[in-house]
Amino acid sequence: MESIEIRQTFLDFFKKKKHRIFASDNLIPSGDPTLLFTSAGMVRFKGCFLGAEELSFRRAASCQKCLRTSDIDQVGKTSRHLTFFEMLGNFSFGDYFKEEAILWAWEFLTRHLKIPEASLWVSIFREDDEAARIWERKAGFPKERIVRLGKEDNFWSMGETGPCGPCSEILFDRGEDKGCRRESCRVGCDCGRFLEIWNLVFTQYDRQKDGSLLSLPQKNIDTGMGLERLAALLQGKDSNFETDLIEPIIDELHEFTDFRYGKDKIKDISFRIIADHIRAVTFLISEGIYFSNVGRGYIARRLLRRASRHGRLLGIDESFLYRLSGVVGEIFKSIYPEVRQFREELSGIILEEEKRFNETLNIGLNELGEIIREVKSKGKKFIDGESVFKLYDSFGFPMEMTEEIASSSGLKIDKEKFELSMEKHKNLARRSWKKGALDLPATITVSKKIPQTEFTGYKKTKDSSLIKGIIEGGTSVPEADAGKTGRDIGVILDKTPFYAEAGGQVNDTGDIRGLSFLVEVKKVIKNAQGQIIHFGRLLSGEIKEGDKVTAQVDTKRRRQITHSHTATHLLQAALRTLIDKNIHQAGSWVEPDQFRFDFNYFKKLTPDEIKSVEDWVNQRIKEKIPLKIIWQRRDEAIKSGATALFGEKYKDEVRVVTIPGYSSELCGGLHVKNTAEIKIFKIIKEASVASGIRRIEAIMGKNGLDRLREESRLLKEAARNLGTAIEEVPKEVKRLLEAIKDLEKEKKSKSDSLPDLDTLLKEAEEVGGIKLLRKRFEGLSRKNLLSLIDNLRKKMDSGIVVLLSRHPEKIELVTSVSIDLVKKGYKADELAKGISRILGGSGGGRPDLGQGGGQDFSRIEKALGYLDKVLISS
């Protein structure tokens, strides 16, 4: 049976059993921002299992797209592990229970799919006598093929507490010639002989905090059966990767490599990893998940880069994954047509990411190889965390990729120190403040005895309060004195109108006043304990715990911040309405009367699109729409259509900000009361900030008006300088640019003219008994350097060539070593690496041809002199 028929047969079977059939949910779980991905068919029905939703149905069935990375290390090494897969499942919410679930599963497998009964085995929880009786007496299953196993195999839990219950698995015996082939092999052995087909979970208990189990008033059924495994069984294949769901990808992969699947066990791992990962990446991008260094985007990037590296292990140096995504679209065109419908966009996004990674992959692999050699030479077993972070930061190597490559060399990585380096990097980024900002302490220690701060800022900009804590130098102090020059401190109040930086919105500023002191508040943060800390300068007087104060927010600045924040909501609504309904926020930074807004999209917005977005937002401003802000249960808010931002931790009670008719978002930030307050909205920049992520920068309010006036002034000044009318400025600028372009072409043609080869060869010298040609140029492109060195190699029977070219901002380098000298131990990639290191850069390549460069122009002569040291000493 082909996979499309298997899907339909399953859904038709349960439709006849009066189940409501649900189409696959997205890989991003709908209505649950706490989950990274949909990992099982039951995820979309979580509320149904918990009894949290009123249902018009009690039975459901689906074929659900799923993604899991928990077993990623096993993907490729076995024939059955996958990151992306489809799960067939049937569910009961307080309707039928064990007997129906077991009998229907047995009926479907043996009567409808015609799987031989003699090849099937069943496992149950060791204490589940009820399931054993149903299998024996109702289904007529042989007692000797029912295996009782423990909790680790046959007891399912939703978490440490909550719904749980025993389960029963149906397994297919692939035969004694499969797996470990030991006489003792039986159900429970993970060798692969006994293939798990279907897991029937009987959710009948509620686990308490003390570990005890209470019976649920509503007993549920949750089953899951992997489509790929079932297809392998029904198509007579030994592997998921040989089914019609994956095999076409491997067939296409043969177009790029001379290796053949099934001929080499090690190479087969790479084939399988590539085939699995491109399926996952294609589906992720089709749902608007783009490559980045955080969250879901990080998973997508990690999968693509892992697949790209395994392409190198198959001898593939070119971009190829983007073409495989087209095969994925063909496989699923009738089931998930959106994957094929957006084929060009998908392949374009993947190609862009491949190119970015390929640019640094070779150099990064060389760098890692050098690190591995150095670690081994010192007899160590671990690669230090800082080196792992450097590979991540400089070459885009996910930590997991470095770990995998290191493991193949028998080494481990120091994950703990890698995480410390990451956190240090993040802290530096967070503390990259504007000139004149406070220098916050790197670590802040606050007593847990100080209560959480009550935020009153949604209703007030001024409030009376009490000082509960004072921070100086990162630790708590009972009091502080301004002295003659003032002092930087942090103040914790019992309640405050000051908004702490959160959700991409800057904090409020203002002051805190007491009877004898004044604190100018510049930075406000909220720590993990819920205490809001006001950092600023104690300008005068003495301050101590218990003092009564008045906390006053800078109302003008706050009003400008509200303009920006509400405008981001309008902008997102405009983008989703006019450009693509799948656009969502990928990050933002909201300041007074200006903001930047990151969103997922794969191509540059056209001038017409930018204008239409601007016009749409300004029209909503003109309409003078009053905002509606309410507190609501999170699940109710999501169900009503409110948008949640992934990565934010929401409580059960959430704040919903609605611009009626246009936008509804979960948001804890500050907003205008009416859209008219924003006055004007203008986009000043639109650009790419990451693969698949665009950024819009915009201004509004007073900033927007000032910008329009300044642009008008500059346009008039440009017209005067050009000696033309205002309306003729674009045409005149275009004419001047074309004239400049012609001059640049003329200049480039002169600089790109290659020197005479015979003349160059006369400059070769003998160093250490080896013919050496080293030469520096001005403005010669890397392409021309490579062309030049290639021609020189043809004319030199034996020797080393090193060419440098200086550009305004960098130095290009290429190196070449003839084959006879490579055999004697001289390597072009090592020369490129050594010279580049002196120049303040990095290099690598092959033993016969290396590339690199740097930025330190003062060390060019020293770099070329490095060759004397290498050749003479050897």
Question: pLDDT tens digits, residue range 691-704?
Answer: 677 899 999 988 87
What would the pLDDT profile of 252-301 be if each residue is shown by its tens digit? 999 999 999 999 999 999 999 999 999 999 999 888 787 887 788 889 99
Band of pLDDT at residue 442, cut at 50, 70 and 90:
low
Smallest CA-to-CA distance from 493 within 536, 435, 556 is with 536
Q: Which pLDDT score, from 0 to 100, does residue 200 have?
A: 97
What would the pLDDT profile of 766-806 be if each residue is shown by its tens digit? 888 899 999 988 888 888 888 899 888 888 889 999 999 98
What would the pLDDT profile of 479-510 be if each residue is shown by its tens digit? 999 888 888 999 999 999 999 998 889 999 99
- What domains are defined for the chain? 3-242 (3.30.930.10), 247-380 (no CATH), 454-553 (2.40.30.130), 558-709 (3.30.980.10), 757-873 (3.10.310.40)
Q: Which of 49-63, 83-97, 710-724 has the lowest mean pLDDT?
A: 49-63
Q: Which pLDDT score, from 0 to 100, does residue 30 have?
A: 67
The structure tokens 């479907």 sit at 108
Mean predicted confidence (pLDDT) in 828-838: 92
Q: Which pLDDT score, from 0 to 100, does residue 438 have?
A: 56
CA distance 734 to 724: 13
Please provide the average confidence, as pLDDT, over all residues in the chain: 88
The separation between CA 88 and the C-alpha centre of its own chain, rounded to angstroms, equals 28
Residue 431 has pLDDT above 50, yes or no: no
Q: Which pLDDT score, from 0 to 100, does residue 432 have?
A: 35
Smallest CA-to-CA distance from 601 within 690, 681, 684, 698 is with 690
Residue 647 has pLDDT above 60, yes or no: no
Q: Which pLDDT score, from 0 to 100, does residue 749 have?
A: 59
Q: Which of 152-166, 555-569, 835-849 has the lowest mean pLDDT?
A: 152-166
Mean predicted confidence (pLDDT) in 620-647: 86
pTM: 0.59
Residue 158 has pLDDT above 70, yes or no: no
Six token digits for residue 587: 């990050």
| Total Cβ atoms within 10 A of residue 823 | 10
Q: Which pLDDT score, from 0 to 100, does residue 232 have?
A: 95
Residue 181 has pLDDT above 50, yes or no: yes
What would the pLDDT profile of 389-428 be if each residue is shown by its tens digit? 888 777 777 787 888 888 888 899 988 888 887 777 655 5
Name the burial class of residue 84, with classes exposed (0-12), middle (13-18) and buried (19+) by CB atoms within 10 angstroms of its CB.
buried
- Greater model confidence, 621 or 692: 621
Instruction: Check if the beta carbon of residue 360 is closer than 8 Å to that of residue 354.
Output: no
Six token digits for residue 391: 């590979």
Helix/strand/coil (H/E/C) assignment for every residue in 343-360: HHHHHHHHHHHHHHHHHH
Q: Which pLDDT score, from 0 to 100, does residue 691 have?
A: 67
* β-pairing verdict for 594-600 and 585-591: antiparallel
Q: Which pLDDT score, from 0 to 100, does residue 638 have?
A: 82
| Measured torsion, CA atoms of residues 247, 250, 251, 255, in degrees rounded to the nearest 10 | 170
- Greater model confidence, 738 or 92: 92
What would the pLDDT profile of 299-351 be if each residue is shown by its tens digit? 999 899 999 989 988 999 889 999 999 999 999 998 988 788 777 778 888 99
* Residue 189 DSSP label: B
Band of pLDDT at residue 386, cut at 50, 70 and 90:
confident
Q: Which pLDDT score, from 0 to 100, does residue 433 have?
A: 31
- Greater model confidence, 176 or 202: 202
Q: Which residues pair with 659 in a beta bridge?
A: 663
Angle at 808 between CA 434 and CA 354, to 5 degrees: 75
Q: Which pLDDT score, from 0 to 100, does residue 622 have?
A: 96
Smallest CA-to-CA distance from 104 within 63, 43, 154, 59 is with 59
Mean predicted confidence (pLDDT) in 808-825: 90
Q: Which pLDDT score, from 0 to 100, does residue 435 have?
A: 34
DSSP for 297-352, written as a single string: HHHHHHHHHHHHHHHHHTT--S--HHHHHHHHHHHTTTTSHHHHHTHHHHHHHHHH
The structure tokens 């993990």 sit at 528
Q: What percent of the chain has pLDDT over 90?
A: 51
Helix/strand/coil (H/E/C) assignment for every residue in 498-542: CCCCECCECCCCEEEECCCCEEEEEEEEECCCCCEEEEEEEEECE
Q: Which of 277-291, 675-689, 750-764, 860-874 has the lowest mean pLDDT?
A: 750-764
Band of pLDDT at residue 430, cut at 50, 70 and 90:
very low
What would the pLDDT profile of 789-798 be if each residue is shown by its tens digit? 988 888 888 9
Band of pLDDT at residue 873, cut at 50, 70 and 90:
low
Residue 63 has pLDDT above 80, yes or no: yes
Band of pLDDT at residue 44, cut at 50, 70 and 90:
confident
